[in-house]
Amino acid sequence: MRLNFTSKLLVVALCVCAYAPAFAQYTYIIEGGPGGQHTGSYTDAGFAASTGTALAPGCTATGTRYSGTGTYFGPSRYAQATFTPATSGFYQIDLAWPSTAGQISTAVNLYTAAATGGPTDQWGNTGGPVGVITTGTMNMYYVNINAWNTFTTAQLNSGTAYHVGLYGGYKTPYAGGVTPADALANRVAIGGFRFMAATPVGVTYGGIANHATDVPVTGTSLSWAAGSKDSFFDVWFGTSAGSLTEIGTGLSASTLSLNLDSQSLQGGTQYFWRVDAGNVDVRTAGTVSDFTTSVVPEPSTAVLSLLGGLGLAAWTTRRRTS
């Protein structure tokens, strides 16, 4: 069977798709409303069901949760999501909420222990969260709806339970003080929490300059500087830029060099290499760099003749003395 031009293009495209690397991006969504994802990881105190719906990508709940419109300020009336990562790394933490008169300065905290009973929070409320890592505010007053809004990016350890909680940090209507007025808002609402593996920033190469020549065949190392949100590195090496072999897999974030003596470098040879940065299940490929090793000189004819003569003389001497 003969293929026409269009069919050939389709075959090529299918082959490319079949062999292209597929890098997933770990995402964990927690919702409190009915039909939501991982609702068992959601808890709240003093909140009630709302018919408002958060339509951020990936949300499935048909409703949300809100604090009511009464006196709700302070940590005692909170909503919380709990996430225990299976893999250590950097995670971007996002929140989504429905269209509502949410507090302009909603208090949001990342912590590792109880939601209440801790020290006074930064807004002057007693009994704040325990084990706070990061704290801040997010504007939920009819803005940034139906979208994921980033609270923070944090380095989380596998097996540790982390909580993201929110509550009305300031009394509403506003009662004065050093904080900006928030008189229009009358509630705190939440649709979902998202924990997503952060994309690592590529490394910066050091040591051997790109296109370097006369590089020694022994004692040579590749080196690099880590970018932000890098948890590990994969090192690729070979004599063809398009066909590199992985010689370092999952190197720790503190490993910033790799000695090449195990690769038995040959003289007068061009080598290519790259370092990919990784975090959880996301990788950022590095650029391909290259260098050429110095030529190892072969012994000259005169040197070989001299060595041969010395060897013959030594043999003759042994014969005479034996």
Q: For 263, which DSSP code?
A: G
CA dihedral 306, 312, 315, 319 (to 10 degrees): -140
| Residue tagged 């005479």 (tokens) | 320
Q: Which range, 43-52, 98-107, 276-285, has the best average confidence (pLDDT)?
A: 276-285
Domain boundary among 142, 172, 197: 197
Give the model confidence (pLDDT) of 249-301 as tens digits: 999 999 999 999 999 999 999 999 999 999 999 999 999 999 999 997 766 55
Could you tell me if 74 and 222 lie in one domain?
Answer: no
Is 303 among the domain residues? Answer: no
* pLDDT band with cut points at 50, 70 and 90 for residue 306: low
User: Is 163's pLDDT higher than 70?
Assistant: yes
Is 281 among the domain residues? Answer: yes
Could you tell me if 147 and 249 lie in one domain?
Answer: no
User: Is 97's pLDDT higher than 90?
Assistant: yes
Could you tell me if 95 and 237 lie in one domain?
Answer: no
Element housing 308 (H / E):
helix 301-321
Contacts of 274 (CB under 8 A, 6+ apart): 235, 236, 244, 285, 286, 287, 288, 289
Element housing 11 (H / E):
helix 5-19
The CATH number assigned to the domain holding 236 equals 2.60.40.10
Is 236 among the domain residues? Answer: yes
The CATH number assigned to the domain holding 63 equals 2.60.120.260
By residue range, what is the domain housing residue 277?
204-293
User: What's the mean pLDDT when you consider all of the chain?
Assistant: 86
Is 106 among the domain residues? Answer: yes
Give the pTM.
0.82
Is 309 among the domain residues? Answer: no
Could you tell me if 261 and 236 lie in one domain?
Answer: yes
What are the φ/ψ torsions at residue 87 (nearest 5 degrees)? -130, 130
Nearest by Cα to 75 from 40, 39, 44, 42: 44
Could you tell me if 113 and 138 lie in one domain?
Answer: yes
* pLDDT band with cut points at 50, 70 and 90 for residue 24: low
Give the model confidence (pLDDT) of 205-214 as tens digits: 999 999 999 9
Measured between its terminal Cα atoms, the distance across the chain in Å is 82
**What is the percent of the chain with per-residue pLDDT over 90, rounded to a whole number?**
69
Q: What total of structural domains would you count in the chain? A: 2
Could you tell me if 226 and 182 lie in one domain?
Answer: no
pLDDT: is 156 or 71 the higher one?
156
Could you tell me if 100 and 173 lie in one domain?
Answer: yes
Domain boundary among 147, 175, 197: 197
Compute the distance between CA of residue 123 and CA of residue 198 in angstroms, rounded to an integer.
29
Q: Would you say 45 and 114 are in contact if contact means Cβ atoms under 8 Å apart?
A: no
Is 314 among the domain residues? Answer: no
Could you tell me if 120 and 234 lie in one domain?
Answer: no
Instruction: Please state the rounded mean pLDDT for residues 28-34.
Output: 96
Contacts of 74 (CB under 8 A, 6+ apart): 125, 126, 127, 167, 168, 169
Give the model confidence (pLDDT) of 127-158 as tens digits: 999 999 999 999 888 999 999 999 999 999 99
Could you tell me if 173 and 228 lie in one domain?
Answer: no
Report residue 239 as tokens: 């004599």
Could you tell me if 109 and 62 lie in one domain?
Answer: yes
Is 54 among the domain residues? Answer: yes
* pLDDT band with cut points at 50, 70 and 90 for residue 102: confident
Could you tell me if 153 and 279 lie in one domain?
Answer: no
Is 75 among the domain residues? Answer: yes
* pLDDT band with cut points at 50, 70 and 90 for residue 308: low
Contacts of 170 (CB under 8 A, 6+ apart): 73, 103, 105, 123, 177, 179, 182
Could you tell me if 71 and 86 lie in one domain?
Answer: yes
- Look at residue 18 in the predicted model and tell me its pLDDT: 34
